[in-house]
Amino acid sequence: QVQLAESGGGSVQAGGSSRLSCAASGRTLSRYFMGWFRQAPGKEREFVASMSGSGDTPYYAGSVKGRFTISRDNTNTVDLQMNSLKPEDTAVYYCAAALGPLDALTPRRAINYWGKGTLVTVSS
């Protein structure tokens, strides 16, 4: 059974930085895209960033491009460096893994694994 475990998050002031990490266990995810989604209070879960198993091409939501950086140092971990944080970045951030591409158009049924989420709160 694959498990995704997020770490990092917490509270940060606007303009600050935070780093999230996700570690997968249970099997090698070299063929999987791994990435991040987030869900703000009262809103639907939305795509943030993802990277393929080879770690070559990152994908970003327009709202975070230029501020967030996704990295994948090995097949079973994915990090999200978040800079220039804004109050609207406040959300629970979820790690996800899928055999196909992960982006804003990926249907939820296509996502194979989810983490339990970690809260990021950005105060103004």
In three-state form (DSSP H/G/I as H, E/B as E, the rest C), the secondary structure along 94-119 is EEEEECCCCCCCCCHHHCCEEECCEE
Mean pLDDT over the full length of the chain? 95
How far apart CA 24 and CA 17 sit, in angstroms, is: 24
Q: Compute how many other C-beta atoms are within 10 angstroms of the C-beta atom of residue 76.
A: 21
Question: Per the structure block, which two tokens stand in for 85?
Answer: 């944080």
pLDDT range class, residue 38, cuts 50, 70, 90: very high
Compute φ and ψ for 108, nearest 5 degrees: -60, -35
pLDDT in tens, 82-111: 999 999 999 999 999 999 999 999 999 999
What pLDDT does residue 24 have?
A: 96
Are 70 and 79 a contacting pair, CB within 8 Å? Answer: yes
pLDDT at 73: 81
Tell me how long the chain is.
124
